[in-house]
Amino acid sequence: MANIKIRNTGERIEGYQNVSKFLEDQGVLYEHWDTSKLPAQLQENCKINDEQKEQVLSVFEEEIKSLAGRNGYHKWDVVALSEATPNLEELLKKFEQVHVHTEDEVRAITAGNGIFVIKGSEELGYFDVELEAGDVISVPVDTPHFFTLREDRQVVAVRLFIDPSGWVAHPVQDPQFTGSN
Ligand SMILES: [Fe+2]
């Protein structure tokens, strides 16, 4: 389950109910999928091929269609990052810049881990959402954020889009943001 770290105070929020309430108050959708539904060879496996990515989509078809139906997403795919990804370090550097999108950024982690750093209310500032397999999050449109990996440096995530061609990162220069880690 996800945990929260508030950057300004170092405060941590843990436990599904507390995390859900915190994220709801910040306007961030948070759900949980049952990753034990995945076949054994896909559980905690982040070095997957295209065929296995399709398998992930088919295992979670019902959850994807439910989320898409509620929020108007029309396309979905699977992204996998690990030490097998060429230029992983360069990619991560590119990710770790505060930006916004013109649509929600929806990610369902199906293996590995990830962190979304998101700008909350003015008084709260930035907070980290530490995600593990099963965590599903939607960063709302126009909300400054970035994504990075945790120590294991690997993740598999389902991405849902209204229109993938509109899903472009627009960098934000935010004086409130004081560092990537
Ligand atoms: Fe983003």
Q: Return the CATH number at 103.
A: 2.60.120.10
Q: Quote the Cα angle for 44-133-153, to 5°.
A: 65
CA distances from 116 to 28, 30, 127, 162 (A): 11, 12, 8, 20
How far is ligand 1, taken at its centre, from the CA of residue 103, in Å? 10
Residue 181 lies in a domain: no
DSSP label at residue 26: T
Residue with tokens 């929600």, as numbered in its chain: 104
What is d(CA 120, CA 35) in angstroms, rounded to the nearest whole number? 28
Going from the Cα of 84 to the center of ligand 1, the distance in angstroms, rounded, reads 22
How far away, in angstroms, is 81 Cα from ligand 1 center? 15
On whether residue 98 sits in a domain, the answer given is yes
Cα-to-centroid distance, 25 and ligand 1 (Å): 20
Could you tell me if residue 18 is inside a domain? yes
- Work out how many domains the chain is built from and give that number: 1
Q: Say how many Å lie between the CA of residue 40 and the centre of ligand 1.
A: 30
Paired tokens of 61: 């078809």
Residue 108 lies in a domain: yes
- Domain encompassing residue 159: 3-171
Decide: 108 and 151 in contact? Cβ < 8 Å: no
From first to last of the 181 residues of the chain, give the pLDDT tens digit.
999 999 999 999 999 999 999 999 999 999 999 999 999 999 999 999 999 999 999 999 999 999 999 999 999 999 999 999 999 999 998 888 999 999 999 999 999 999 999 999 989 999 999 999 999 999 999 999 999 999 999 999 999 999 877 678 888 988 888 765 5
Look up residue 41 and give its DSSP letter: G
